[in-house]
Structure 1
Amino acid sequence: MESVALDRLDRRLVHALKVDGRASFARIGAVLGVSDQTVARRYARLRSSGGLRVVGVPEWYGMEQWFFRLRSTPDAAAPIAEALARRTDTYWVHLVSGGSEVLCSTRPDTRASRDALLLGKLPRTPRITDFTAYQLLRGYEPDPALFVHRLGGGLDPDEVDALRQPPPVDPPHTAPDAADRAILAVLGRDGRAGHAELAGAAGCSESTARRRLDALRASGQVRFDIDLVNDLIEIDTTAMIFLSVLPNQLFAAADELIRHHPVNFAAAVTGPTNLIASISCPDARALYEYLGGPIGRLPGVTGYETAPSVRVLKRHGQLG
């Protein structure tokens, strides 16, 4: 990644894209008080540096998401992580816990592809000593307004509200068709891809591609996020936390957890622990203070385990 320092305008632009990754440069410029050309230049600089990317994240009715936690012999963890990162159905892959453990998220398109990995490939992989699968039951995304704390400066609440998209309606009880999936595949690589590129992938006109994208967004079948390299915002320590929460306190704990500033996302899951979260902190001391403070005050928590990340091999569906 090219070395880039974020000034105040850069941070405000990044925050704007966190609120709505598909917002036009003109709309962002109006909120930031600069021209659309200035926004376009700033975005091109950050994107070409490799530090910032907008991604489309598919989500539809019946789509499953799983988290895998793999322990292996020390010499096998990195090759296993690299092999998982090369798979098209994995979304992120981290090498954690000193390099002897792999965490992986997968979004299988079909039950057959899920079973091929869950029941076939992973159990037969040599040198895996322990394997735990967690199915995501409900995911929690932080309010974009909270991202200002991560950036160390950004938009004020009124500016965030000016960029917010309307909440999605209930998604249809059918998966996207082939054309929609082609559009989603392009958006997974570049969330700001133009309608001409989307139309080319889907084999339709630009106006049809625009209507399809609008329908996918309105139904909640795709949302947009940013992939921001931690070095740009002085984040040194990332980790996964696995929490055990009393069943009657799970909803309250999840709702409070997702409002914590270090939390990237959280999920209620099946498995030996029922709530997991990805967190980012400036350093190990900040992680310690977070674990001993806000985490300890969550309702119903009976225990937790922390797995610090030492290497990211894949994030948002793209190799790191």
Structure 2
Amino acid sequence: MQDRAAPELDELDRSIVHALQIHPRAPWTLVGEVLGVDPVTAARRWQRLADAGLAWVTAHPRLANSRVVATGVIEVDTEPGAAVNVARALAADHAMVNVKLTSGGRDVIAEVQVRDFDELLGLTTRLFQGMPGVRATRAHISTGMPTEGSQWRLRSLDGDQCARLDTAALPPPARPESDAEAGWDTLDARLLELLGADGRMPMRRLAAATEVGLTTVRRRLQALLPSRVSLRCDLARTPFGWPLSAVYFASVPAQHLAETSRVLSGFREVRACAIMAGPHNLVIDVWLRALSDVHAFEAHLARRLPRLTIDDRSLVLRTVKHMGRLLDGDGRSVGIVPLPCGVPPAVGALP
């Protein structure tokens, strides 16, 4: 992809991104009304950000629904000098959702989304046993995701503006459980793939790409988005003022997991918090503004959460892939490797 000069960001750019973080498919008329700008101006500004790879809207299976997707974190130790090539090879795989080059006790951290544990086992066997440069791997299964990246906000809008967008983003009343989780078909999978590439793709384009009627697409999206598919607005970390990222591997007594996760979700720096089945029962992904914040944030955690023990930490040297997007050194989107969009198994297929 051609190199693109990043436009200078101003407060309107940040406000537009914050608005789409709250309501990723908000009509431009609503965005313009909330921000007090012309809708055409808001749309043009967004297109400029998207074209430069600074912000984008994407879709993924709901991480909280283990009947649809299973997630895990894989630590990779590489041979000297092989980490970059290993990370690039991992990023090319559709099941690898996030891939990070890191310092510390592991060279690469990869997050995977698969349909069941057999698929995870096959993935690790296929990718790691025969991949040049890989010395060792450690896989951790996620049993819960109390906080994930789609919930993180820029905080550029005031409370009233956020409330107006929140209200407009409320899904229609949920259908009965038996209907809402009746299983996926090829149209669901195709819509997930299209929205993964462009979460704001207009309804008419979605209908044309899937070769079904506009009414069918609208009805199917209304069924998918509240229950099985999440939309999110992501952004390039460095241009928006969060140049550093770190991953903390932590432990807390099991009876305090829920309380600890709730408190962690309130920290602005915390992007994601996963409950794991492994030697560390929490993996905390954070964004930071300065290198000194790595230990300052850890000290803050110790004061607020005395039961929490940080077992290890890694500074993210570079994020190679983020929710299916290939990123450059500044975190700008420069390509897409679609997330897995095959038809998930029927309810009850997971152990």
Helix, strand or coil at the partner of 1:259:
coil
Match of 1:204 in 2: 212
One-letter identity of the residue aligned with 1:196: R
> Over residues 214-260 of structure 1, what are the superposed CA-to-partner deviations in whole Å (9 max), with x where a residue is unaligned?
111122x1111122111222222111111111111111111101110
Q: Residue 114 of structure 1 aligns to which amino acid in structure 2?
A: L
Q: TM-score, normalised by structure 2?
A: 0.83
Alpha-carbon offset, residue 61 of structure 1? 4.7
Residue 21 of structure 2: aligned partner:
18
Distance 1:112 1:274, change over 3 A: closer
Which position in structure 1 is the counterpart of 2:170?
166
Alignment of 1:1-320 (within 5 A): 1-59=4-62, 60-62=65-67, 63-97=69-103, 101-109=107-115, 111-141=117-147, 147-149=153-155, 154-164=156-166, 165-166=169-170, 169=174, 172-219=180-227, 221-320=228-327
Shift in Å, 1:287: 2.3
Structure 1 stretch 262-271 or stretch 99-108: which is displaced more? 99-108
Preserved contact between residue 238 and residue 244 of structure 2 (Cα < 8 Å): no
Letter in 2 for 1:177: D
- Residue in 1 that maps onto 2:344: none
Using the TM superposition, give the Cα deviation of residue 124 of structure 1 relative to its aligned residue in structure 2, in angstroms.
Answer: 4.1
Q: Where does structure 1 lack aligned partners over 5 or more consecutive residues?
A: none
How big is the shift at 1:178?
0.9
* Equivalenced residues, count: 315
Which residue identity is paired with 1:237? Answer: L
- Is the partner of 1:87 in helix, strand or coil? coil
Name the Cα RMSD after superposition: 2.3
Letter in 2 for 1:300: R
> Is the Cα–Cα contact under 8 Å of residues 246 and 302 in structure 1 kept in the other structure?
no
- SS of 1:214's equivalent? helix
Change (3 A) 1:52 1:303: closer
> Residue 173 and residue 146 in structure 1: after superposition, are their counterparts in 2 closer, same or farther (change >3 A)?
closer
C-alpha change, 1:163 and 1:309, in structure 2 (3 Å) is same
Whether the 8 Å CA contact 1:74–1:100 is kept in 2: the answer is no
For 2:180 and 2:138, the matched residues in 1 are separated by 31
> Between the two proteins, what is the percent identity of the paired residues?
28
Greater per-residue helix proportion: 1
TM-superposed CA distance for 1:174, in Å, is: 4.3
